[in-house]
């Protein structure tokens, strides 16, 4: 998992979020809250969700960002079922739900 980025970085919050998410390894996940903390603003959990919803860059694995309760949450590239499929393919542990 990527270390926290210094808040004094010249990067804006969106760029810091994207950098954190880009560093999530295959088979791993971070919660929206963990991403917000690592990007330098623990209270910006919803902003992380918005940034992920608007992200269509193929080099940013936004499917690896999940909810704090371990469920997957939304995915802008095919919905939660597509997100689950990708995470399972990568070997990520997912909380068992009705899916």
> What is the set of active-site residues?
62
Start-to-end C-alpha separation, the chain: 27
Q: Which residue has the tokens 């808040």?
A: 7
Helix (H, G, I), strand (E, B) or coil at 66: strand
């Amino acid at each position: 998992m990527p270390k926290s980025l210094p808040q004094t970085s010249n990067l804006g919050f969106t760029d810091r979020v994207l950098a954190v998410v880009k560093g999530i390894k295959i088979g791993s996940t971070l919660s929206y809250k963990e991403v917000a903390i690592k990007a330098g603003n623990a209270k910006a959990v919803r902003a992380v969700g918005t940034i992920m919803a608007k992200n269509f860059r193929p080099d940013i694995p936004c499917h690896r960002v999940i909810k704090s309760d371990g469920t997957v949450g939304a995915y802008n590239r095919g919905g939660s079922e597509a997100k689950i499929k990708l995470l399972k393919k990568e070997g990520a542990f997912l909380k068992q739900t009705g899916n």
